[in-house]
Amino acid sequence: MRLLSKLVPALLIACGALAATAQTDDYPNKPIKWIVAYPPGGSTDLIARLMGTWLTQRLGQQVIVENKAGGGNNIGTEFAIKAPADGYTIFLVNPANAINASLYKNLSFNFLNDMAPVAGIIRVPNVMTVTKNFPAKNVAEFIDYAKKNPGKVNMASSGAGTSVHLSGELFKFMAGVDMKHIPYRGAGPAITDLIPGQVDVLFDNMPSIIGHIRGGSLRALAVTSDQRSPALPDVPTVADTVAGYEASAWFGAGAPKGTPPAVIARLNREINAALADPGMRAKLAELGGVPIAGTPEQFWALHRMETEKWAKIVQFSGAKAE
């Protein structure tokens, strides 16, 4: 009887392991949801759809992008964290997930602990972009104009706490200018209002703004990285005028904590294969991005570093969730 009592738990564990193995052996056997915590049209959406197309072809199952906007990125994040950890929900990790850890005081989750890393995808600068008719032609002229018109320059963002918002807050702090923050629910709506001049400036992620810059409907004053971007080689950096300024965005994939390691390994392998593919690299370069291939652990190390960096910026800028 004692032997039986010892054998039953062991058998149950073994059966559970076999069932988990069976589930991952035929993974995926149904469509996969890719959660994007912003509306269509922004950088997160563009990157998810580009990578989703690749994964659909490689995995043999459709990867469906679902936009769950709102709450400064938190609604979509919480949805993904609480989804079943079975490999059929993945999440487009973005800078707001690092920023929100210090921007919001009462989140129902701890992102670094409650989300499992899958893979890094791309790192890009933001672009300080103005409407075509804005009177300033460069960063120095912009600062001069803003100082002469305190509080009258409207700075759009893709939402409170996004890297787009915090890049602007960092600029305000370091350049000593006063601008009115106008948050939108995603980059797409912000760009829509920027083009006709309903707002004045946007520090947007390059993937969602670069087409408008190249097409001439908007004008880039500077990139936010510490070096010029090959995608916009004639555009100077903010740091050329405001010494020490640097901000950039990065994106990757995560999954609910507890997702089987074999599933994460498969997704990581396929995403890294995309980042090594010449055709995909060319498409990412068109968006102004540099691939950040690697292990899940390497991606999470970047996330931890960025979480610490943005916590300092939130603190000294006084930025608050709206």
Distances (CA, A) of 213 to 43, 130, 210, 317: 15, 10, 5, 28
Task: Tell whether 236 and 131 lie within a shared domain.
Answer: yes
Give CA torsion, residues 26, 29, 34, 35, to 10 deg.
-100
pLDDT reported for residue 226: 87
Task: Tell whether 275 and 207 lie within a shared domain.
Answer: no
Task: Tell whether 233 and 255 lie within a shared domain.
Answer: no
Structural contact between residues 112 and 144, judged by C-beta atoms closer than 8 angstroms: no
Asked, for residue 18, whether it belongs to a domain, the answer is no
Task: Tell whether 61 and 160 lie within a shared domain.
Answer: no
Task: Using alpha carbons only, give the angle 96, 102, 103 rounded to the nearest 5 degrees.
Answer: 65
Count CB neighbours of 10 within 10 A.
9
Side-chain half-sphere exposure of 218, counting CA atoms within 13 A: 29
At residue 65, what is the residue type?
A: V
Last residue of a domain, one of 215, 240, 265: 240
Asked, for residue 23, whether it belongs to a domain, the answer is no
Pairing of strands 89-93, 248-256: antiparallel
Structural contact between residues 140 and 241, judged by C-beta atoms closer than 8 angstroms: yes
**What range does the domain containing 229 cover?**
125-240
Burial of 289 (0-12, 13-18, 19+ CB in 10 A): buried
Last residue of a domain, one of 211, 240, 269: 240
Q: What is the CATH number of the domain that holds 200?
A: 3.40.190.10
pLDDT reported for residue 288: 85
Centroid of chain to Cα 282: 20
Task: Using alpha carbons only, give the angle 75, 258, 67 rounded to the nearest 5 degrees.
Answer: 25
Q: What is the Cα–Cα distance from 166 to 182, expressed in whole angstroms?
A: 12
Q: What is the Cα–Cα distance from 303 to 117, expressed in whole angstroms?
A: 9
Q: Which of 34, 19, 36, 47 is nearest to 290 (CA)?
A: 47
Q: Which of 100, 45, 95, 90 is nearest to 67 (CA)?
A: 45
Structural contact between residues 66 and 34, judged by C-beta atoms closer than 8 angstroms: yes
Q: What is the Cα–Cα distance from 200 to 144, expressed in whole angstroms?
A: 15
Task: Tell whether 89 and 235 lie within a shared domain.
Answer: no
Asked, for residue 1, whether it belongs to a domain, the answer is no
In this structure, what token pair is assigned to residue 308? Answer: 């610490």
Positive or negative torsion for Cα 280, 34, 53, 233: negative
Asked, for residue 84, whether it belongs to a domain, the answer is yes
DSSP conformation letters of 240-261: GTSTT---EEEEEEEEETT--H
3-state secondary structure of 225: coil
Q: What is the Cα–Cα distance from 70 to 84, expressed in whole angstroms?
A: 21
Q: What is the CATH number of the domain that holds 302?
A: 3.40.190.150
Last residue of a domain, one of 209, 240, 271: 240
Task: Tell whether 120 and 190 lie within a shared domain.
Answer: no
pLDDT reported for residue 21: 45
pLDDT reported for residue 8: 52
pLDDT reported for residue 16: 46
Per-residue pLDDT of the chain (322 residues; tens, 9 = 90+): 454 455 554 455 444 444 444 456 789 999 999 999 988 988 889 999 999 999 999 999 999 999 999 888 899 999 999 999 999 999 999 998 999 999 998 899 999 999 999 999 999 899 999 999 999 999 999 999 999 999 999 999 988 778 898 999 999 999 999 999 999 988 889 999 999 999 999 999 898 899 999 999 999 999 999 889 989 999 999 999 999 999 988 999 999 999 999 999 999 999 999 999 999 999 998 888 889 999 999 999 999 999 998 898 888 777 777 6
Question: What are the start-end ranges of the H helices in the chain?
Answer: 2-25, 43-59, 74-82, 95-103, 111-114, 139-148, 163-175, 187-194, 206-215, 261-276, 278-286, 296-317
Q: How many domains would you assign to the chain?
A: 2
Asked, for residue 293, whether it belongs to a domain, the answer is yes
Task: Tell whether 81 and 48 lie within a shared domain.
Answer: yes
Task: Tell whether 174 and 155 lie within a shared domain.
Answer: yes
If you count them, how many residues does the chain have?
322
Task: Tell whether 116 and 134 lie within a shared domain.
Answer: no
pLDDT reported for residue 7: 54
Structural contact between residues 235 and 89, judged by C-beta atoms closer than 8 angstroms: no
Task: Tell whether 104 and 39 lie within a shared domain.
Answer: yes
